[in-house]
């Protein structure tokens, strides 16, 4: 096995671990809702995420031969601050909608509906001048059918939790495109740390406006908070950054979509959740759409005079 192949295999394994953590985080998020409100949970886990990422930033600087928290000369502070603010606000909106939706939706369905951002990204990319391969549009059609089977009730209406998760997927789409804009000119781990700090502040405001945060409830939910804060935010995100240095983006995106599969497995193993045949077929169609869109070749850039 040559060095290139070995590095790609290591990166793939890192992404599988990250997807595993993210998938099972849906279960932890639902368990956390037994003790505190969605925004309170999201705020506290974001503070934990910042605390988990700060040492990673310091260590990465040390390994690069810099003083801790000293940025490389090639990175832009303006991009970091503007990008961190924009990404943090979008992440706060997406994650709070996700937490609210999870209260009324199973962990497996939450994982699949949230993963629809992989389908939405190329659609919104059209407004940025990015063409989508025909397989992308086929994926959108398949995902639409899957959404119908997952979310439409006998009365042809969407459940509240499903609508919240659909809105969450749209905000995650905006978040992904915003990260894509800022990450080339700044450090990815720093950007993540700053966005979690902004997310924590915005979620704290939501918590005090819509809920009544109480310390006993937060302490009772410490296990889900630590898991989602440290593992989901800190470790999994760091694994993703390291892995994408080894894996091509198309392969990386495909492997990360396994998050949805692990969400279903987690709900089945831990929460004893069961999907109906109709919902199971919807999950398969949505996941099939996610896989298909990743198989489409990258769009060609337009020629300019």
Cα-to-chain-centroid distance, residue 169: 9
- List, for residues 103-119, the tens digit of each pLDDT value: 777 766 776 787 787 77
In a domain, residue 200? The reply is yes
**Which among 195, 208, 209 is positioned nearest to 92, based on CA atoms?**
195
Global pTM reads 0.78
Residue 15, pLDDT above cutoff 90:
no
In a domain, residue 86? The reply is yes
Give 65: exposed, middle or buried? Use CB within 10 Å, 0-12, 13-18, 19+. exposed
In a domain, residue 162? The reply is no
- List, for residues 147-161, the tens digit of each pLDDT value: 777 666 555 566 788
Buried b (16+ CB within 10 A) or exposed e, 226-249: ebbbbbbbbbbbbbbbbbbebbee
In a domain, residue 303? The reply is no
| 145 or 157, which is more confident | 145
The predicted structure's pLDDT at residue 270: 72
DSSP 62-106: HHTTS-TTPPPTTS-HHHHHHHHHHHHHHHHHHHHHHHHHHHHS-
The predicted structure's pLDDT at residue 296: 60
> Number of structural domains, the chain?
1
Where is mean pLDDT largest: 12-21, 94-103, 217-226, 278-287? 217-226
Return d(Cα 122, Cα 136) in angstroms, integer. Answer: 7
| 202 or 240, which is more confident | 202
- Domain of 7, in residue numbers: 3-115+175-280
In a domain, residue 305? The reply is no
Q: Predicted confidence band at 304 (pLDDT cuts at 50, 70, 90)?
A: very low
Kindly report which listed range (144-148, 153-157, 292-296) carries the lowest average pLDDT score: 153-157
In a domain, residue 156? The reply is no
Residue 247: strand, helix, or coil: coil
Tokens, residue 5 = 């192949």
| 88 or 140, which is more confident | 88
Residue 70, pLDDT above cutoff 50:
yes
Return d(Cα 114, Cα 222) in angstroms, integer. Answer: 24
In a domain, residue 150? The reply is no
Cβ count near 43 (within 10 Å): 29
The predicted structure's pLDDT at residue 200: 94
Give 129: exposed, middle or buried? Use CB within 10 Å, 0-12, 13-18, 19+. exposed
Residue 250, pLDDT above cutoff 70:
no
Kindly report which listed range (159-163, 173-177, 235-239) carries the lowest average pLDDT score: 235-239
* Contact by Cβ (8 Å): 135, 295: yes
Cβ count near 69 (within 10 Å): 10
Q: Predicted confidence band at 225 (pLDDT cuts at 50, 70, 90)?
A: very high
The predicted structure's pLDDT at residue 300: 47
Tokens, residue 240 = 């993703």
Tokens, residue 241 = 């950054």
In a domain, residue 233? The reply is yes
* Mean pLDDT value across the chain: 79
């Amino acid at each position: 096995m040559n060095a290139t192949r070995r590095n790609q295999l290591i990166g793939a394994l890192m992404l599988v671990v990250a997807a595993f953590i993210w998938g099972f985080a849906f279960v932890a998020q639902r368990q956390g809702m037994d003790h505190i409100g969605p925004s309170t949970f999201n705020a506290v886990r974001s503070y934990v995420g910042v605390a988990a990422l700060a040492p990673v930033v310091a260590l990465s600087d040390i390994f690069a031969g810099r003083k801790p928290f000293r940025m490389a000369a090639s990175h832009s502070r303006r991009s970091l601050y503007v990008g961190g603010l924009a990404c943090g606000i979008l992440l706060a909106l997406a994650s709070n909608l996700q937490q609210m939706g999870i209260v009324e939706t199973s962990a497996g369905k939450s994982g699949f509906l949230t993963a629809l951002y992989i389908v939405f990204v190329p659609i919104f990319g059209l407004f940025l001048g990015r063409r989508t391969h025909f397989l992308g549009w086929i994926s959108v059609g398949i995902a639409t059918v899957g959404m119908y089977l997952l979310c439409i009730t006998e009365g042809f209406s969407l459940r509240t939790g499903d609508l919240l998760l659909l809105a969450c997927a749209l905000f995650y789409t905006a978040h992904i495109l915003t990260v894509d804009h800022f990450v080339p000119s700044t450090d990815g781990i720093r950007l993540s740390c700053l966005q979690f700090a902004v997310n924590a502040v915005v979620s704290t405001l939501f918590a005090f406006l819509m809920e009544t945060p109480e310390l006993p409830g937060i302490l009772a939910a410490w296990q889900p908070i630590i898991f989602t804060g440290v593992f989901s935010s800190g470790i999994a995100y760091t694994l993703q950054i390291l892995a994408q240095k080894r894996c091509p983006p198309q392969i990386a995106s495909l492997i990360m979509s396994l998050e949805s599969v692990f969400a279903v497995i987690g709900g089945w193993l831990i929460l004893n959740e069961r999907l109906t045949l109709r919902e199971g077929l919807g999950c398969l169609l949505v996941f099939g759409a996610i896989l298909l869109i990743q198989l489409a070749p990258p769009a060609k850039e337009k020629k300019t005079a």
